[in-house]
Amino acid sequence: MTIRVLICDDHLIVRQGIKQVLAEAEDLRVMGEAASGPEALQQVRSGMATGQGPDVVLLDIAMPQRDGLDTLKSLKGEFPKLPVLMLSTYPDRQYAVRSLKLGAAGYLNKSADSEQMIEAVRTVARGRLFITPSVAEHLAGAVGAGGRAADEGLPLHELLSHREHQVFRLLVAGRSVGEIAQQLSLSSNTVSTYRARILEKTGVRNDVELTLFAMRNESVAP
């Protein structure tokens, strides 16, 4: 059985590298590439409509227009059974648990070797969850008795909702409320409300302290 793979990453050289890795496996075939979240969604929709959609989506977290987590949320909303394997250069503790909570079938750092990437694609294509020992450790730390989030043991930035986390990252990147509103297609008042919640949850008073908080907690990639 051939596993059809869609690669979504905004860097051409990364997509080419992943294609070369997957070409080593006879049962894997790259059926398409996307450079953004909207492009990935369009390709999946078109493929599924003709019965030629991907069996697995490899999705980068950091992308323009719509980040990987937002794209993941849309993909799982429309195609809940489609396995999505998240790729990232960020440390596992930053996004692994968040990705899995949003429905990802696995999380893999781009520094992984070719054998591990091929294994990950095959694993999620079979309907199983792919978790490295590092991710398993962070996942265990994020789950309390009864499967509930152990909020007391999580870094503050991991207590944010998905949308709050998006706003958090953009604020730390120096974006204004107006710029964030435009990028996320929200009103400025809504972004201001999210900002207020973020400041409250992180225990800081302004954007400067929020940036320092992010640096101390390695919440945002340099």
Q: What is the CATH number of the domain that holds 195?
A: 1.10.10.10
- Pair 125, 19 in one domain: yes
- Pair 89, 198 in one domain: no
Indicate the residue among 142, 172, 189 that finishes a domain: 142
Give residue-wise pLDDT tens across range 116-145.
999 999 999 999 988 887 777 656 555 443
Take residue 41 and report the two structure tokens written for it. 């969604």
What is the rounded distance in angstroms from the CA atom of residue 169 to the CA atom of residue 172? 5
| Residue 51 burial (10 A CB sphere; 0-12, 13-18, 19+) | exposed
The pLDDT of residue 149 is above 60? no
- Pair 174, 105 in one domain: no
Give residue-wise pLDDT tens across range 58-116.
999 988 778 898 899 999 999 999 999 999 887 666 678 788 888 899 999 888 899 99
Beta bridge partners of residue 58, listed in sequence order? 7, 85
Beta bridge partners of residue 60, listed in sequence order? 87
- Please choose, from the candidates 79, 69, 77, the residue with its C-alpha nearest in 3D space to the C-alpha of residue 48: 79
- Pair 188, 209 in one domain: yes
Provide the mean pLDDT of the chain.
Answer: 84
- Pair 9, 110 in one domain: yes
- Pair 134, 40 in one domain: yes
Give residue-wise pLDDT tens across range 172-186.
878 889 989 988 888
Give residue-wise pLDDT tens across range 164-174.
888 888 888 78
- Pair 64, 125 in one domain: yes
Indicate the residue among 118, 142, 166 that finishes a domain: 142
DSSP character string of 13-73? HHHHHHHHHHTTSTTEEEEEEESSHHHHHHHHHHHHHHT---SEEEEESS-SSS-HHHHHH
Domain assignment of residue 222, yes or no: no
- Pair 127, 55 in one domain: yes
Structural domain span for residue 104: 3-142
Indicate the residue among 108, 142, 176 that finishes a domain: 142
Report how many domains make up the chain.
Answer: 2
- Phi, psi torsion values for 3, nearest 5 degrees: -100, 115
| Sign for the pseudo-dihedral over CA of 29, 31, 35, 37 | negative
Whether the CB-CB separation of 121 and 3 falls below 8 Å is answered with yes
CATH number, domain with residue 87: 3.40.50.2300
Grade residue 151 by pLDDT with cuts at 50, 70 and 90. Answer: very low
